[in-house]
């Protein structure tokens, strides 16, 4: 385990011990709620991990390189950016997946486009955004985010 993980866990345990010393009832209540939430998100997380594992098992590194590697050019970057914009994936899965793509021949530019569109654009959450912010604002925010995400990918690709 890395020193960062150890530090984070020590801080969490220290905070838990402090909270327990203040109000055991509230801590128990919070831990119950946390456990329910964890159990609730576990099935979709496991499903995503299995789906990504199957995809990585069936796609050969040269296929990944051909579609989103250096030779795919900007078209590959656009394709993976579109995939990132459509997917709804937590960072705990997205970053290891991105590392797997890099290890299997994807370009840095394409992976940067995937991660930035995944985090900045919400195709899945667009109906909620439209309801809360209005159609014009939601579409404008997503379009602006798409442009910035592609700019980030191109700059990262040029620098690295």
Half-sphere exposure of 138 (CA within 13 A, CB side): 14
The string of pLDDT tens digits covering residues 55-95 is 888 989 999 999 999 989 899 999 999 999 998 888 888 99
Q: What is the pLDDT averaged over residues 88-111? A: 92
pLDDT reading at 1 higher than 70: no
DSSP state of 72: G
2 alpha carbon, distance to own chain's centre = 22
| pLDDT tens string 18-54 | 999 999 999 999 999 999 999 998 998 899 889 888 9
Q: What number is the average pLDDT over the span 91-108?
A: 92
Distance, in Å, from the CA atom of 72 to the CA atom of 110, rounded to the nearest integer, reads 9
Neighbours of 20 (CB within 10 A): 13
């Amino acid at each position: 385990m890395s020193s960062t993980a150890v530090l984070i866990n020590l801080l969490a345990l220290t905070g838990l011990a402090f909270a327990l010393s203040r109000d055991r009832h509230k801590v128990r209540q919070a831990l119950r709620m946390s456990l329910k939430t964890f159990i609730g998100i576990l099935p979709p997380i496991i499903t995503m991990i299995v789906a990504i594992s199957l995809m990585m098992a069936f796609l050969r590194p040269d296929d990944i390189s051909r579609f989103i590697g250096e030779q795919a050019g900007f078209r590959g970057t656009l394709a993976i950016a579109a995939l990132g914009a459509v997917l709804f994936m937590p960072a705990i899965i997205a970053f290891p997946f991105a590392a797997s793509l890099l290890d299997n021949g994807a370009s840095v530019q394409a992976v940067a486009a995937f991660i930035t569109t995944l985090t900045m654009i919400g195709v899945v959450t667009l109906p909620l955004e439209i309801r809360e912010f209005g159609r014009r604002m939601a579409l404008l925010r997503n379009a602006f985010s798409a442009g910035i995400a592609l700019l980030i990918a191109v700059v990262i690709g040029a620098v690295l």
